Amino acid sequence: MVEHRYAEVNGLRLHIAEEGEGPLVVLLHGFPECWYSWRHQFGPLAAAGYRVVAPDQRGFGRSDRPEAVDAYTMLDLVGDVIGLIHALGEETAVVVGHDWGAPVAWHTALLRPDVVRAVAGLSVPPTPRGGDMPPLRAMSELYDGRFYWNYFAQPGVADAEFAADPTSTFRRFLYGASGDNPANDPVPAQPLVPPGHGFLDLVGEPEKLPAWLTEEDVATFVAEYGSQGFTGGLNWYRNLDLNWRLTAPWNGATLQVPGLYITGDRDVVHAFPGVSDLVPALPQIYPTLREPVVLPGCGHWTQQERPQEVNAALLDFLRETAPARV
């Protein structure tokens, strides 16, 4: 049974959900999500002999939301993961992330291979830093300021749009980027926000939710966000250029621990520049990475859309990299 409590980490109060005993597995959610995104993983992983912990990362759900925009850099987020592992009384963990949680997981493994036994990322692959231009500027020049990162980075704009009707926001977000949305078959379009429009205009209000998502699930996400809104999570996007500068010392560094990448072939991330070429090359770029697991017909919400396949892949990976004593 999933239990809830708080952990003091780096001066913040982070809400965590946990179940099971054994080697620690930390599950990191994305945007706009929270611990509940891993609802299908707790039971199976705990039953297999693992201690499963999913925090609401800083700025999300029931966790603290620092006011300063620059309190959400990648170094802060990696610091939270390391601090949480130690606050839980553990020295090492397997770290798994989805969406924004994936780059946090990849960077945690990159920066602290002494703490991360193995790493898995869902949807977002490990990406070489590279380039000679910060990402927000690069995407703005490439798409005339219409790429959704640039829209999210505008102070207060997406914050107000998403908070106006949170139920509609979650229904549109979760359906819109799913493999069940016909617009994502066979290849999702670039998420470009036309001038004078909002991000949610990119997908209409679904008449019916896909089978993997219930109205109760949507209500739970709305309740977990409460009255705190979306600004904390959007601040992650506002630090993309700062992250690019802060991670310069690790340019060219590679993973030192076993890695696993799981994705769906209808994930909008594959429409991002360079990703379609990157994914097949991952084992060459990162030799410790297994061959990517690509789920046909799956969209962006990997572990929610395809829990059985994701759980099977994760358990196979965990048995190899962090065997449990059951």
Contacts of 287 (CB under 8 A, 6+ apart): 254
CA-CA distance, 149 to 151, in Å (whole number)? 5
Q: Which string of b and e fits 207-243 if b means at least 16 CB within 10 Å? A: eebbebbeeebbeebbebbeebebbbbbbbbbbbebb
Number of H helices and number of E strands within the chain? 13, 8
| Catalytic residue, candidates 15, 98, 270, 300 | 300
User: Which helix (H) or strand (E) segment is 219 a member of?
Assistant: helix 215-225
| Catalytic residue, candidates 99, 217, 265, 267 | 99
CA-CA distance, 216 to 286, in Å (whole number)? 40
CA-wise closest residue to 6 among 77, 88, 65? 88
C-alpha atoms less than 13 angstroms from C-alpha of 307 in its C-beta half-sphere? 13
Active site residue 201: no
CB distance 120 to 282 below 8 Å: no
Helix (H, G, I), strand (E, B) or coil at 73: coil
Structure tokens at 49: 């002999």
Active site residue 99: yes
Across-strand partners of 121? 97, 261
Helix (H, G, I), strand (E, B) or coil at 37: helix
Q: Which residue has the tokens 């962090």?
A: 322
CA-wise closest residue to 228 among 65, 73, 56, 68? 65
Max Cα distance, the chain (Å): 57
Residues catalogued as catalytic:
99, 300
